[in-house]
Structure 1
Amino acid sequence: MLYLFRMLLMSLHFLLAGVLGVVLGLCRPFNPDNSRLCARLYAWPAMCILRLRVRAKIASLKHKPSGCVIVANHQSNYDLFVLGNVVPYRTVCIGKKSLKWVPLFGQLFWLAGNVLIDRGNARKARQAMLTTTETLQHKDTSIWVFPEGTRNLGQDLLPFKKGAFHMAIAAGVPIIPVCVSSYITHMRLNRWNSGQILIESLAPIPTAGLTLDDIPGLIEQCRVQMHDCIAALDRQVLAR
């Protein structure tokens, strides 16, 4: 019963946050800080409704360089709410083009200046990637990417796609890994206190001087660091 009540409240909240986010986007369309503000609109009320406690250790994210590529593990659609409160200033996200057809959220996502990629069209996808390089280098804006490309449902990290690392090397900006404990396997939304989520950002990984030949090693370095951090966060959650 509690779960159903929460889902009803979450549906209403999703609609209300979408309306407010679209209004914000119309007032200042494509402002790169819209994403952070809209993420807060979704995240804080959702965590109160779901009674999920989020503890974040994100010093490297708060003090990030003006332009960087942020990579995070992707577990479920709840990531929108879980990660919303840690999205830093002037950070946009990369998403699939089909998102723009989601009522309210899609329009909000577009107006917030996020990058929509048509994965079925290689030419347009490459063009979008070139646009993000320009953004990283000259517009004081960072890009948030889920390098797995799809949800892992709280299991082990899926193989990382090259796009985020290609962007970082092309722009010569660092990569900041963000790790989230495997909350999707631990949270219990039919209980009053649904569980705890730990988030940690790791030290920036520099890419200056690297070439495209270095991408496999860069991916492996990032993935190993994130894998070890997520495992440590999961042990902390289970020990509480």
Structure 2
Amino acid sequence: MAPFDVVLGCVMALLFILFSISSIARYYIKFTLFVVLSLIFATAPLPLMLFRPFDPRNALIPAALLRVSARLLGLRWTVRGIENVDDTRGAVILLNHQSGLDLYVLAVLWPLMARCTVISKRSLQYLVPFGTAAWMWGTVFIDRGAAHSARSILNKQAEAVRDHKRKLLLFPEGTRHSGDKLLPFRKGAFHVAIDAGAPIQPVVISKYHFLDAKRRRFGSGDIIITILPSISTDGVDKDNITSLVETTQSKMQEVFTRTSAETRPYPVCKEN
């Protein structure tokens, strides 16, 4: 047996032991697998994307592979409200933001919603080759530090939503968090919806009880993805956008609280 094979076998055995006995080791091993598998599965079909660049359908194969990797990490999901998706028109899709694992939620939603486009931060574009693949399936990158540039890009996306029936996916909280309350929503997505004359489509992801970054815990668990009925922007102008934001966040918070209670693990009862 070659020395390399012996070393590799020892390393794999050590990782298996650590994975079995240490929750902290399991956290880092699973997150490493998440990153590595995401990079491989998202970029492996990159040559095929060259035949139809910037087409949202380019993400369908990576999405299918990512769903497989989610299963391997012990994640299970249920999608509710599929009947609320209307592919005859564009929409602004709003999702709550908890972790990089939200990538798996996007992988679940992609085949359920036609012509999806994701808004992402500019730094992701430079994560080659993942950023290149994301660019090839139509991801729109914005520089959050350059407000004028970001507004210009979002204005163009409003045209795509209106004229090409795109589904524009955004995280209105702007940053990830693991609390029980959604963070205040930013208004950019709502301006896009009003400019496009398109509805808001809230999508709520239940809390990741299986994930605890502070205590370094990454277990197995369930995710409920709820697609809510669209919220019309007809007759809404920029003067009463605050009311639209508050209404949307209130509806999403209600569903987030309810579905998060459903996925909360039952406490283990100790026998006397």
TM-score after normalising by structure 2: 0.80
- Corresponding position: 1:217 with 2:240: no
How far is 1:239 from its partner? 7.2
Look up the SS of the partner of 1:27 in the other structure. coil
The question of 1:27 aligning with 2:51 is answered: yes
Segments of structure 1 that go 5 or more residues without pairing to the other structure are none
For residues 149-208 of structure 1, the C-alpha deviation after alignment (integer angstroms, 9 at most, x for no partner) is 11012441011001110000011100110001101x3348665xx111111111100001
8 Å contact from structure 2 (residues 42, 63) kept in 1 = no
Question: 2:80 aligned with 1:57, yes or no?
Answer: yes
Cα distance in 1 for residues equivalent to 2:232 and 2:60:
24
Instruction: Identify the match of residue 229 of structure 1 among 248, 251, 255.
Output: 255
What one-letter code is carried by the residue in structure 2 that aligns with 1:97? R
Pair 1:103-2:128 in alignment: yes
The answer on whether the counterparts of 1:36 and 1:90 sit within 8 Å (CA) in structure 2 is no
Amino acid at match of 2:97: H
Higher mean C-alpha deviation, range 167-176 or range 57-66:
57-66
**SS in structure 1 of the partner of residue 119 of structure 2:** strand
Task: Determine if contact 1:187/1:196 at 8 Å carries over to the other structure.
Answer: no
Deviations 1:17-37 (A, max 9, x none): 132242233231111333454
Higher RCO structure (Cα 8 Å, ≥6 apart): 1
Say if 2:93 and 2:168, in contact at 8 Å, map to a contact too. yes
Q: Give the alignment partner of residue 167 of structure 1, picking from 192, 195, 211.
A: 192
Aligned length: 236
* Amino acid corresponding to residue 79 of structure 1 in structure 2: D
- In 2: Cα distance, 1:176 partner to 1:77 partner: 21
Offset at 1:111?
A: 1.2
Distance in 1 separating the partners of 2:121 and 2:218 = 32
- RMSD, aligned α-carbons: 2.1
Q: Take 1:153 and 1:190, find their aligned partners in 2: how far apart are those partners?
A: 13
Query: Does residue 178 of structure 1 match 2:199?
Result: no
Q: TM-score, normalised by structure 1?
A: 0.89
Q: Aligned partners of 1:153 and 1:125: how far apart in 2?
A: 26
* 1:27-72 Cα deviation digits (max 9, x unpaired): 3111133345433332x12222111111111324543442000001
Partner of 2:160: 135
Distance 1:147 1:177 in 2: 10
Q: In 1, Cα distance between the equivalents of 2:68 and 2:88?
A: 29
2:230 alignment partner, SS class: coil
Residue number in structure 1 paired with 2:102: 79
